[in-house]
Amino acid sequence: MRPSREDFAVFYPITTRWSDNDIYGHVNNVVYYSYFDTVANQYLIAEGGLDIDQGETIAFVVSSGCDYFEPVAYPQSLEGGIAVEHLGNSSVRYRIGIFEQGASQASACGFFTHVFVTRADQKSCPIPTDIRAALSRIHIVL
């Protein structure tokens, strides 16, 4: 099922680049994963206080996937919508939609799972309190 804007809690602009297009003239499938990573981390940094340089806790991607509904291409302006589908003790599964700017339905929709680990030993740990609070705010039951 093709998601709509109502399926997401927060949106961020995405600027396409010339290098995002493939030989077929549209954004290559692997580039979407970069968009997902950017949207999720932008939210964690801005809303949860994730310190990617010095923080004791970091997050690793352990699973991802994407469904494509219609192609997008440089120089289109895009938006990435994000919501939390599942919030566990040490992991979170995001739903991320890629929309043409202002479009009501997603051009692509993916999922992305982070596991939080301590930077020092890279072992799983509970999601930090501030990050958990930020993730809770965008937890949408579908």
Return the pLDDT at 142: 65
Residue 142 is assigned to a structural domain of this protein: no
Return the pLDDT at 141: 78
For 141, other C-beta atoms within 10 Å of its C-beta total 7
Tell me how many domains the chain contains.
1
Return the pLDDT at 45: 97
Residue 19 is assigned to a structural domain of this protein: yes
Residue 115 is assigned to a structural domain of this protein: yes
> Euclidean distance between the first and final Cα of the chain, in Å?
12
Ordered mean pLDDT values, 10 residues apiece, the chain (142 residues): 95 97 96 97 97 95 97 97 98 98 98 97 97 97 72
Rounded to whole angstroms, what are the CA distances from 87 to 49, 60, 106, 114? Answer: 17, 15, 23, 10
Residue 109 is assigned to a structural domain of this protein: yes
Residue 50 is assigned to a structural domain of this protein: yes
Rounded to whole angstroms, what are the CA distances from 77 to 23, 74, 80, 127? Answer: 20, 8, 10, 33
Residue 106 is assigned to a structural domain of this protein: yes
Residue 65: which CATH number? 3.10.129.10
What is the domain extent for residue 105?
5-137
Residue 79 is assigned to a structural domain of this protein: yes
